[in-house]
Amino acid sequence: MNYYHITSQLPYTEPFLFVDELIEVYENGVVGTYSFSEDSYFYKGHFKNAPVTPGVMLTECCAQIGVVCLGIHLLQKEGDFTPNGMQIGMSSTQMEFLLPVKPNEKVTVTSEKIYFRFNKLKCSVKMHNSDGKLVCKGEISGMFKADVHA
């Protein structure tokens, strides 16, 4: 299924867009992928001669797929989504990093909704590498707010 109605509403562009494809979106979760290109700006200097993806970028990828995409889906279902005036902010994160992600590696993020109320979405997220091994896991919360001036 094509989830362009969600991905086209993401408030990110290159080089800070970490969603390549949404595979599945449903009421309680989302599954999506991203490939970390070897020419991404953050590899320059992040462990010279042996670059790995910084944990903050792994967290951002999990947040974009697991919280923002799911949040847009839930708001669209409720009829509360305002594409030009939506503000999104991460309110908390707790991540555990288990394996490195190297340049040109494709990851899959799976997110399960813990709760969504008062426009705050909290999710349990997991990231797996292309070998199916768990890279990182945790909980991420985000807030969605309609901009009244849009």
Domains (ranges, CATH) in the chain?
4-146 (3.10.129.10)
Residue 123 has pLDDT above 90, yes or no: yes
- Give CA separation, 149 vs 8, 11, 80, 82, 87, in Å: 21, 17, 16, 11, 11
Confidence category of residue 116, pLDDT binned at 50, 70, 90: very high
Cα 115 from chain centre = 17
Position 80 scores a pLDDT of 61
Start-to-end CA span in the chain (Å): 31
Beta strand pairing status for 29-36 and 105-117?
A: antiparallel
Position 45 scores a pLDDT of 81
Which tokens sit at 74?
């839930």
Position 2 scores a pLDDT of 75
Instruction: Give mean pLDDT, residues 82-94.
Output: 74
Position 49 scores a pLDDT of 84
CA-based nearest residue to 66, from 34, 96, 31, 24: 31
Residue 94 has pLDDT above 90, yes or no: yes
Q: Please tell me the pTM assigned to this model.
A: 0.91
Residue 58 has pLDDT above 90, yes or no: yes
